[in-house]
Amino acid sequence: MPYGYRGKILHVDLSSGALTVEEPPESFYRKYMGGQGLGMYYVLKGTSAGVDPLGPENVLALTLSVVTGAPVSGQSRVMANAKSPLTGGIGDAQAGGFWPAQAKFAGFDAFIIKGRAETPVYLWVCDGEAELRDAAHLWGKVTGEAEAAIREELGDPKIEVLQIGPAGEKLVPYACLINMANRANGRTGMGAVMGSKNLKAVAVRGNMRPEIADRKALSSIARWGAKKLPESSIANLSIHGTAGSVLAQNEVGGLPSYNWDSGVFGNPERLDGRTMSDTILKERDTCFGCVVRCKRVVEIQEGPYDVDPLYGGPEYETLGTLGTYCGVFDLAAVSKANELCNMYGLDTITTGAVIAWAMDCFEHGIITMDDTGGVALNYGDGDAVVRMTEMIGNREGFGDLLAEGMAQAAAELGPEAEELVTAVKGNPMPAHMPQVKRSLALIYAVNPYGADHMSSEHDPAYLAFPDRVAQFDLLDPQPVDVLNAEKVRYAMYTQRYYCLLNTIGVCQFVWGAAWQLYGPSQLVDMVRAVTGWRVSLWELMKVGERSLNMMRAFNAREGFTRAEDTLPPKLFKPLSGGPSDGVAVSKEEMGFAVPAYYAMCGWDSEGRPARPKLEELGLGWLAEELSCSSG
Ligand code: SF4
């Protein structure tokens, strides 16, 4: 029995109904580890160029990793990869909760899903056994109802369910996967991919806990984290959740407001985590084995918006996209829209950003109430946000157009609407502003799955945590607010590190490059303790780099070039108000940064991984498939 992982991968062919188990050698696990790396291996091997993201040939990889389910904080994560129906490139999304650990205990390290069932089904996995079951009676149900129905028919309240909601069934290209009815693999439409396969859910339960190579060492790491937490830089995250950063973002002019026209908001305290804690917070929740307990659970029983605590509570990103992006400071309305997203299985970031973009179009007269079915899409109207979220989830009226995605809807409305888009590769920008965190300008542009805030370290950490940043050979950081070579290097190294985190499958609040509870050297210690492998930070960084290169190679195979690595027009226009008044990203710095980044990565001038780089990473098979240039 291997340490840490189960050594078994379940392949599911929904067209034939065949379930087969693969048992790869240890060397395979050490090379790809899990998560994004493992998922990319199977997506690349299992699909061909031009695959229809919503066709049966697309491969959906749901992956755990070599440390999932170990008794230490921040290890219960599930990663999803497939071709994205939103971007046309690689899709990638991660989630925490109890499903990932329970899936490992059910006996598998990954679920590789292809084909399309004739009628709706769900996958039931328990103690090393798996079966497909009829899900016709679950189709159309919102997530909370479907989860309860599955637990009841299988007779076990401890079953964990990862599923799609009605939005995934209706193939909304930014539909997400939901577990616990409130944890989301949010971005890039992995819910639509699962919906296109007629797969409603993956239910898991088991007692096959992984063996730990050095339980004493792991226990010492876990105890250190629990003791350090109250005095650590994530103590506030533990108390107020990610929602506790609304005020701080506003103070530096980095809180995207009014569809990104401004970095400040009039009433940030109304949405901040402290207000949430004082008013509607019912409890703090956690992921399997995590002492941080950063998840919010809110409940509202009075007023225009009742909110069921089953569906959790809004994160910082959600308070931004469904709140400040739309000029809404009504915490109850944002919490209601968040609940609806979790019920329907919609990515809150994309949903809020799309509605904010529509409000911008409404303000500019590009759309009118004739288009919206009588809904006045004015900034600040919480009712309109709640109504539009429902209409998107149901693909009803104007919601059906917004359900296609921001870039897709803008293309239908014309150039004026396209000027207002806030997306990269069709993926809307999350609530962290490249104008005030300049390395994000580069990362948003070049990230394989579009704008994403969880794929590199953000600029403030560059100066504030020199000891940890030094572990990446970034020894003397200078306070620069433009993309110079040093900042490009910082962005590139930490991007590889974040790919590593998404491959090992650990939470980025607990395990990180700088401000998090644990740093890189402790990550090495943790992987050693769980797996028994004598890994080094060098080896792990190569795992992350390998994962990033596989994603870029996937996009190159789909025809992506430098033309896709661009930012939307809004980022080049000066912001209005507050500390970031007048600030914009410049075309000159992007003109320097993108080619510099490609060169540092060992890619060609179009951003495609060149053969020598793929060979260096042990991906010669991929170079052959892509017929790469020799660099
Ligand atoms: S820090 Fe929060 S999101 Fe991360 S594992 Fe812990 S509870 Fe889950």
CB of residue 295 inside a 6 A radius of ligand 1: yes
Kindly give the distance from the C-alpha atom of residue 237 to the centroid of ligand 1, in angstroms, as a whole number. Answer: 9
Assess whether pLDDT exceeds 80 at residue 575: yes
CB of residue 186 inside a 6 A radius of ligand 1: no
For residue 469, what pLDDT is reported?
83
**Confidence class for position 475, pLDDT limits 50, 70, 90:** confident
β-pair partners for 296:
284
Quote the CA–CA distance of 505 and 96 in Å, as a whole number.
9
Assess whether pLDDT exceeds 60 at residue 630: no
- The DSSP-derived string for 217-282 is HHHHHHHHHHHHGGGSTTHHHHHH-GGGGHHHHHHTT-S-BTTTTBS--S-HHHHSHHHHHHTTEE
Kindly give the distance from the C-alpha atom of residue 16 to the centroid of ligand 1, in angstroms, as a whole number. Answer: 38
Tell me the average pLDDT across 341-353. 98
pLDDT, one tens digit per residue, over 385-419 is 999 999 999 999 999 999 999 999 999 999 999 99
**Closest CA to ligand 1's atom 2:** 294
**Closest CA to ligand 1's atom 5:** 74
Query: Three-class SS of residue 34?
Result: strand
For residue 628, what pLDDT is reported?
64
CB of residue 314 inside a 6 A radius of ligand 1: no
State the burial class of residue 475 (Cβ atoms within 10 Å of its Cβ: 0-12, 13-18, 19+).
exposed
pLDDT, one tens digit per residue, over 193-252 is 999 999 999 999 999 999 999 999 999 999 999 999 999 989 999 999 999 999 999 999
Q: Which residues of 496-505 are buried (b: 16+ CB within 10 A; e: fewer)?
A: bbbbbbbbbb
Q: Which residue carries 């402790």 as its tokens?
A: 522
Kindly give the distance from the C-alpha atom of residue 289 to the centroid of ligand 1, in angstroms, as a whole number. Answer: 9
Question: Which residues lie closer than 8 Å to 184 by C-beta, 6 or more apart?
Answer: 93, 95, 176, 177, 178, 341, 342, 345, 347, 348
CB of residue 512 inside a 6 A radius of ligand 1: no
Contact between residue 360 and residue 259 where contact means Cβ atoms under 8 Å apart: yes
CB of residue 232 inside a 6 A radius of ligand 1: no
Of 233, 245, 286, the residue with max ligand 1 atoms within 8 A of its CB, to mutate for a pocket test, comes to: 286
For residue 631, what pLDDT is reported?
54
Tell me the average pLDDT across 484-501. 94
Of 510, 511, 515, 517, the residue with max ligand 1 atoms within 8 A of its CB, to mutate for a pocket test, comes to: 510
Query: Three-class SS of residue 93?
Result: strand
Question: Which residues lie closer than 8 Å to 437 by C-beta, 6 or more apart?
Answer: 254, 458, 459, 460
β-pair partners for 94:
79
State the burial class of residue 158 (Cβ atoms within 10 Å of its Cβ: 0-12, 13-18, 19+).
exposed
pLDDT, one tens digit per residue, over 247-305 is 999 999 999 999 999 999 999 999 999 999 999 999 999 999 999 999 999 999 999 99
Kindly give the distance from the C-alpha atom of residue 71 to the centroid of ligand 1, in angstroms, as a whole number. Answer: 14
Kindly give the distance from the C-alpha atom of residue 294 to the centroid of ligand 1, in angstroms, as a whole number. Answer: 6
For residue 380, what pLDDT is reported?
98
**Confidence class for position 479, pLDDT limits 50, 70, 90:** confident
Kindly give the distance from the C-alpha atom of residue 287 to the centroid of ligand 1, in angstroms, as a whole number. Answer: 6
Residue 510 CA: nearest ligand 1 atom is: 1
What is the average pLDDT value for the chain, to the nearest integer?
96
Pairing outcome for strands 110-114 and 9-13: parallel
Query: H/E/C letters for each residue in 442-461?
Result: HHHHHCCCCCCCCCCCCCHH
Quote the CA–CA distance of 108 and 161 in Å, as a whole number.
15
Kindly give the distance from the C-alpha atom of residue 262 to the centroid of ligand 1, in angstroms, as a whole number. Answer: 30
Question: Which residues lie closer than 8 Å to 512 by C-beta, 6 or more apart?
Answer: 457, 501, 518, 519
Tell me the average pLDDT across 79-104. 98
Pairing outcome for strands 295-298 and 423-424: unpaired
CB of residue 507 inside a 6 A radius of ligand 1: yes
**Confidence class for position 482, pLDDT limits 50, 70, 90:** confident
**Closest CA to ligand 1's atom 4:** 507
Assess whether pLDDT exceeds 60 at residue 629: no
Contact between residue 517 and residue 508 where contact means Cβ atoms under 8 Å apart: no
**Confidence class for position 468, pLDDT limits 50, 70, 90:** confident
Q: What is the percent of the chain where pLDDT is above 90?
A: 93
pLDDT, one tens digit per residue, over 293-337 is 999 999 999 999 999 999 999 999 999 999 999 999 999 999 999
Kindly give the distance from the C-alpha atom of residue 236 to the centroid of ligand 1, in angstroms, as a whole number. Answer: 13
Query: Three-class SS of residue 566?
Result: coil
